[in-house]
Amino acid sequence: MRILIVEDSVTMRKVMEMTFAGEDAELLAVESGELALQQGRDFGPDVAFIDASLPGLDGYEVTRAIKSDPQLAGTSVILMASQHRPLDEARASEVGADDHILKPFDTQEAIDKATELARRAETLSEAPSIPVA
Protein backbone atom coordinates (compact mmCIF):
# COMPACT_ATOMS: atom_id res chain seq x y z
CA MET A 1 0.00 0.00 0.00
CA ARG A 2 1.30 3.45 -0.93
CA ILE A 3 0.34 6.27 1.43
CA LEU A 4 0.66 9.98 0.77
CA ILE A 5 0.73 12.17 3.88
CA VAL A 6 0.02 15.87 3.37
CA GLU A 7 0.58 17.71 6.64
CA ASP A 8 2.27 21.03 7.38
CA SER A 9 3.22 20.01 10.94
CA VAL A 10 6.58 18.24 11.12
CA THR A 11 5.45 16.55 14.34
CA MET A 12 2.29 15.13 12.74
CA ARG A 13 4.25 13.93 9.70
CA LYS A 14 6.59 12.07 12.08
CA VAL A 15 3.60 10.61 13.98
CA MET A 16 2.14 9.36 10.69
CA GLU A 17 5.49 7.89 9.64
CA MET A 18 5.79 6.07 12.98
CA THR A 19 2.16 4.91 12.74
CA PHE A 20 2.83 3.08 9.48
CA ALA A 21 6.44 2.01 10.24
CA GLY A 22 5.45 -1.58 11.07
CA GLU A 23 2.96 -1.88 8.23
CA ASP A 24 3.51 -3.07 4.68
CA ALA A 25 3.38 0.47 3.32
CA GLU A 26 5.46 2.93 1.32
CA LEU A 27 5.10 6.50 2.53
CA LEU A 28 5.58 9.88 0.95
CA ALA A 29 5.20 12.76 3.42
CA VAL A 30 4.99 16.33 2.13
CA GLU A 31 4.21 19.64 3.82
CA SER A 32 1.97 21.32 1.24
CA GLY A 33 -0.83 20.70 -1.18
CA GLU A 34 1.30 21.92 -4.06
CA LEU A 35 3.99 19.32 -3.31
CA ALA A 36 1.33 16.64 -2.87
CA LEU A 37 0.07 17.22 -6.39
CA GLN A 38 3.55 17.47 -7.95
CA GLN A 39 5.12 14.46 -6.21
CA GLY A 40 1.92 12.46 -5.87
CA ARG A 41 1.66 11.82 -9.60
CA ASP A 42 5.03 10.04 -9.65
CA PHE A 43 4.39 8.26 -6.33
CA GLY A 44 0.95 6.87 -7.26
CA PRO A 45 -0.64 6.65 -3.79
CA ASP A 46 -3.44 4.25 -2.91
CA VAL A 47 -4.46 6.37 0.08
CA ALA A 48 -3.79 9.99 1.07
CA PHE A 49 -4.09 11.48 4.55
CA ILE A 50 -4.56 15.21 4.03
CA ASP A 51 -4.72 17.91 6.70
CA ALA A 52 -7.95 19.82 6.04
CA SER A 53 -6.46 23.11 7.24
CA LEU A 54 -3.25 23.29 5.21
CA PRO A 55 -1.89 26.78 4.44
CA GLY A 56 -2.06 27.72 0.76
CA LEU A 57 -4.11 25.04 -0.97
CA ASP A 58 -6.18 23.69 1.90
CA GLY A 59 -7.03 20.01 2.27
CA TYR A 60 -10.39 20.41 0.55
CA GLU A 61 -8.79 22.02 -2.51
CA VAL A 62 -6.08 19.34 -2.60
CA THR A 63 -8.74 16.63 -2.39
CA ARG A 64 -10.71 18.18 -5.26
CA ALA A 65 -7.51 18.41 -7.36
CA ILE A 66 -6.58 14.77 -6.63
CA LYS A 67 -10.05 13.50 -7.49
CA SER A 68 -10.09 15.45 -10.78
CA ASP A 69 -6.55 14.46 -11.86
CA PRO A 70 -6.60 11.40 -14.16
CA GLN A 71 -3.35 10.10 -12.63
CA LEU A 72 -4.55 10.49 -9.04
CA ALA A 73 -8.33 10.06 -9.24
CA GLY A 74 -8.18 6.49 -7.87
CA THR A 75 -6.51 7.67 -4.66
CA SER A 76 -8.69 7.30 -1.56
CA VAL A 77 -8.58 10.46 0.55
CA ILE A 78 -8.84 10.68 4.33
CA LEU A 79 -9.13 14.27 5.52
CA MET A 80 -7.57 15.01 8.91
CA ALA A 81 -9.17 17.63 11.14
CA SER A 82 -8.59 18.76 14.71
CA GLN A 83 -10.91 19.67 17.56
CA HIS A 84 -10.05 23.37 17.27
CA ARG A 85 -10.52 23.28 13.48
CA PRO A 86 -13.40 20.86 12.88
CA LEU A 87 -14.10 19.20 9.56
CA ASP A 88 -16.65 20.77 7.24
CA GLU A 89 -18.41 17.49 6.43
CA ALA A 90 -20.55 18.94 3.63
CA ARG A 91 -17.48 20.39 1.91
CA ALA A 92 -15.51 17.17 2.45
CA SER A 93 -18.26 15.19 0.74
CA GLU A 94 -18.55 17.75 -2.07
CA VAL A 95 -14.83 17.51 -2.95
CA GLY A 96 -14.84 13.70 -2.88
CA ALA A 97 -13.16 12.79 0.42
CA ASP A 98 -13.61 9.10 1.19
CA ASP A 99 -13.30 9.37 4.98
CA HIS A 100 -12.02 11.59 7.77
CA ILE A 101 -10.17 11.26 11.05
CA LEU A 102 -9.93 13.59 14.03
CA LYS A 103 -6.49 14.56 15.39
CA PRO A 104 -5.15 13.41 17.74
CA PHE A 105 -6.19 9.95 16.60
CA ASP A 106 -5.65 6.38 17.66
CA THR A 107 -2.89 4.97 15.45
CA GLN A 108 -4.78 1.71 14.92
CA GLU A 109 -7.78 3.68 13.66
CA ALA A 110 -5.57 5.35 11.02
CA ILE A 111 -4.11 1.99 9.97
CA ASP A 112 -7.57 0.41 9.78
CA LYS A 113 -9.01 3.25 7.68
CA ALA A 114 -6.09 3.18 5.24
CA THR A 115 -6.17 -0.61 4.94
CA GLU A 116 -9.93 -0.70 4.36
CA LEU A 117 -9.85 2.02 1.68
CA ALA A 118 -6.87 0.44 -0.09
CA ARG A 119 -8.60 -2.95 -0.03
CA ARG A 120 -11.83 -1.44 -1.36
CA ALA A 121 -9.96 0.31 -4.20
CA GLU A 122 -8.14 -2.90 -5.08
CA THR A 123 -11.42 -4.83 -5.20
CA LEU A 124 -12.97 -2.21 -7.48
CA SER A 125 -9.99 -2.23 -9.83
CA GLU A 126 -10.14 -6.03 -10.09
CA ALA A 127 -13.85 -6.11 -10.87
CA PRO A 128 -14.53 -7.04 -14.49
CA SER A 129 -15.70 -4.15 -16.59
CA ILE A 130 -19.08 -4.49 -18.22
CA PRO A 131 -19.15 -3.41 -21.85
CA VAL A 132 -21.66 -0.72 -22.69
CA ALA A 133 -23.85 -1.55 -25.68
Q: In whole numbers, what is the pLDDT of the chain averaged over residues?
A: 91
Is 29 within 8 Å of 85 (Cβ atoms)?
Answer: no
Q: How far apart are CA 8 and CA 99, in angstroms?
A: 20
Domain spans of the chain, in order of start: 2-126
Give, rounded to a whole angstrom, the gap between the first and last alpha carbons of the chain. Answer: 35
Q: What is the pLDDT of residues 64-119, one digit of tens each?
A: 999 999 999 999 999 999 877 888 899 999 999 999 999 989 999 999 999 999 99
Contact (Cβ atoms closer than 8 angstroms) between residue 99 and residue 74: no
What pLDDT shows up at residue 121?
A: 76
Amino acid found at 24: D
CA distances from 11 to 17, 18, 122, 129, 131 (A): 10, 11, 31, 43, 48
Q: Using the predicted structure, report yes or no on whether residue 128 has a pLDDT greater than 60.
A: no
Specify the 3-state DSSP secondary structure of 30: strand
Environment class of 108 (CB within 10 Å of its CB; exposed 0-12, middle 13-18, buried 19+) = exposed
Does the domain at 2-126 match CATH 3.40.50.2300? Answer given as yes
